[in-house]
Amino acid sequence: RNALFCLETAANQEENHVYTKALLAYAFALAGNREKRKALLDSLDKEAVRKDGSVHWQRPGKEPEADLPFHRSRAPSAEVEMTAYVLLAHLTSQPAPAQEELSSASLIAKWISSQQNPNGGFSSTQ
């Protein structure tokens, strides 16, 4: 109970980093707090990067990547991790995720799968 109170206090802060919001959304999904989960996912949706039919999150103030032909750079591990937490928050809902959430989740999963290295792993160890 005290841990959830602490998380609720953190979630109510005005300026939360996108990574913090992603973790909080997943934590509230696991705790079954639908209202907080939805509020955080709605906030995260406003900060999402939509590109090439996929969705992901990146650190605020990050320099835009050069759009070079035949070159695709991989995102830093923190961006893979926070995007994965948002995906988990979408898929961890009670009752089961609605069709709209599954559609959003598929766009997120598309980006995450594009971050795999040639061996099938990721830059992150999470």
Predicted local distance difference test score (pLDDT) of residue 71: 46
| The total number of structural domains that make up the chain | 1
Domain that holds residue 96: 17-63+72-115
Alpha helix locations (H) across the chain?
2-11, 18-31, 34-47, 77-91, 99-114
Q: What average pLDDT does range 79-94 have in this prediction?
A: 93
Q: How confident is the model at residue 72 (pLDDT cuts 50, 70, 90)?
A: low
pLDDT at position 73 over 90: no
Predicted local distance difference test score (pLDDT) of residue 62: 64
pLDDT at position 29 over 90: yes
Cβ within 8 Å of residue 28, ≥6 positions away:
7, 11, 36, 37, 40, 89
**pTM across the whole model:** 0.86
Q: From the centroid of its chain, how far is CA 78?
A: 10
Predicted local distance difference test score (pLDDT) of residue 63: 60
Confirm whether 89 is domain-assigned. yes
Confirm whether 57 is domain-assigned. yes
